[in-house]
Amino acid sequence: MATLLRASGACQKAASAAQARTFASVAPAAASSRSHKVVVVGGGTAGMTVSHQLLRTGKFTQDDIAIVDPAEWHHYQPGWTLVGGGLKNKEDLRQSLTELVDPKLKFYNEQVGAFTPEENLITLSNGDKVNYEQLVVAPGINVDTSTIKGLPEALADPKSFVSTIFKYDTCDKASRNIKDFKKGNAIFTHPAGAIKCAGAPQKIMWLASDHWQRAGLYNYNDPASSPINISFATGLPVMFGVPKYSATLEALRKERNVEGLFQHDLVEINGDTAIFARPDGADKVTKKFDLLHAVPKMGPYAFVKNSALADQAGYVDVDQATLQHKKYVNVWSAGDASSLPTSKTAAAITAQAPVLVSNLLRRMNGQEVEAGYDGYTSCPLLTEYGKVLLAEFKYGGVPKETFGRLFDQATPNRAFYYLKKDFFPWVYQNYMVKGRWGGPSGFIR
């Protein structure tokens, strides 16, 4: 906590040293000009939530706020695990971005190519320049299938038993593969390095194992005589980064006789062979598979990584408590693209967005920014059809549980399953991306 406050204090000094602008000193953006009070890069979870929360403050008029995103669709990505588990249709989890963006916002359906923070402008890939007073950078991260040799080809082959729920195009292939698989070695992977929703690679495995168990193809108590064998190959040394929840998941793994291949990082697929890198220069390990659920490596997009806004790892370099850029005081970031040292989830954005919005407004009013974000994030871990372990924690992996007084959240629970399957998709699509849901704080008026 002391570190957190120190960091935010330094940032506040930087903010007050720079020239303060107030709402009164800013002329409204002309509808036809490419100059806006706030420009938001990315219309994903963070971009939509922040833009709409800003708009709902009533402090902005037509086209004061602009969103830039080249996509046609806005996706509810957490639902792709449910698609992989055969519980949802992927088409129901996407919304037309043009329709989702409030008409009071200016929408540039274009890609951002470069940032020029010294001049308060961004350049779109069509060459147009857009000026801002405040910039919110939220383009997410790149789920890069080419980081695993052979993966793009294996995913594209409709007959292969290789899939991933981390892509819209293949999340339903995962479901088909699981249903059609009757016999052999099933391997589920989790890469080394930061990914979005660090629980998702094993959620799909738990659902698959439950499906096969119910179908009589996998016996938790006698895997040797089961037609299907299951392995979890993870680049990490443990099942999950937070010890409290990792303990339950490790116990579950042993109980269900899932082979644990720790510090095994999938780097190549060659026919029916998966090749894993090992730490400290150890020899690569090869494993034959009949079904593979692969999770690609993920990282910042080049246009962020190569910009003046990035930290050494390529993420937007913001203060972990205020969400303000460490160098450019009128630049902000939330979500997967940010340097915030917490698990990258939509749930985290429910807690980040109100802090970013409040501090951005304070900055516009010439006030000091406040340290408001404690790293809250959450991961509803499906452990079977009908049960979820609800991991909720803050910086340092310290549990911060909404229902901790009612339930042991490390014990998989039926109520959490319905939160994950029904409530979260509904509240996300109808309230969160419209700026009206604050996660554990509830609905925003």
Ligand X SMILES: Cc1cc2nc3c(=O)[nH]c(=O)nc-3n(C[C@H](O)[C@H](O)[C@H](O)COP(=O)(O)OP(=O)(O)OC[C@H]3O[C@@H](n4cnc5c(N)ncnc54)[C@H](O)[C@@H]3O)c2cc1C
Q: Which residues bind ligand X (CB under 6 A)?
A: 41-47, 68-71, 77-78, 80-81, 111-112, 138-140, 165-166, 196-197, 200, 301, 303, 335-337, 344-347, 349, 378-380
Nearest to 185 by CA among 256, 283, 272, 296: 272
Name residues whose C-beta falls within 8 Å of residue 435's C-beta, 6 or more positions apart in sequence.
48, 49, 51, 52, 53, 54, 55, 56, 444
| Of the candidates 3, 26, 123, the residue with the CA atom closest to the CA atom of residue 361 | 26
Q: CA–CA separation, 300 vs 159, rounded Å?
A: 31
Q: If DSSP states are collapsed to H, E and C, what string results for 67-131?
A: EECCCCEEECCCHHHHHHCCCCCHHHHEEEHHHHCCCCCEEECCCEEEEEHHHCEEEECCCCEEE
- For the bound state, the minimum distance from the C-beta of residue 387 to ligand X, rounded and expressed in Å, comes to 15
Count Cβ atoms below 10 Å from residue 263 Cβ, excluding itself: 18
Q: Which of 150, 296 has the CB closer to ligand X?
A: 296
Spatial contact of 326 and 319, defined as CB atoms under 8 Å apart: yes
197 as an active site residue: the answer is yes
Q: Which residue's CB is nearer to ligand X, number 23 or number 423? A: 423
Q: Extract the tokens encoding 265.
A: 């990082």
Closer CB to ligand X, residue 165 or residue 292? 165
Smaller CB distance to ligand X: residue 171 or 369?
Answer: 171
Is 11 marked active-site? no
Closest distance to ligand X from the beta carbon of 303 (Å): 5
Q: State in angstroms the smallest separation of the CB of 336 from ligand X.
A: 4
Catalytic residue, from 135, 267, 349, 379: name it.
Answer: 379
Q: Which is nearer to ligand X, 9 or 399 (CB)?
A: 399
Beta-bridged to residue 390, according to DSSP, are: 380
Strand order in the sheet with 398-399: 377-384, 387-394, 398-399
Least distance CB 210 / ligand X (angstroms): 17
Looking at the DSSP bridge assignments, the partners of residue 443 are: 437
Contact by Cβ (8 Å): 43, 356: no
Distance CA(173)–CA(162), nearest Å, equals 8
As a whole number of angstroms, the distance between CA 193 and CA 297 comes to 7
**Which of 326, 344 has the CB closer to ligand X?**
344
Residue number with the smallest Cβ distance to ligand X: 44
Least distance (Å) between residue 13 CB and ligand X = 28
CB 222 to ligand X: min, Å = 31
User: Is 50 or 275 the residue whose CB approaches ligand X more closely?
Assistant: 50
Cα 344 to Cα 350: distance, rounded to the nearest angstrom: 12
Catalytic pick among 41, 137, 174, 197: 197
Chain centroid to CA 274: how far? 26
Q: How far is the CB of 75 from ligand X (least distance, A)?
A: 7
- The minimum distance between CB 105 and ligand X, in angstroms, equals 14
CA-closest candidate to residue 70, choices 126, 9, 142, 129: 126
Query: How many Cα atoms sit within 13 Å of 247 on the Cβ side?
Result: 5
Contacts of 9-14 with CB under 8 Å at 24 or more apart are 9/371, 10/319, 11/319, 11/321, 11/322, 11/324, 11/326, 11/369, 12/322, 12/368, 12/369, 14/326, 14/327, 14/329
Q: Name which of 287 and 387 has its Cβ closer to ligand X.
A: 387
Which positions are annotated as active-site residues?
Answer: 197, 379
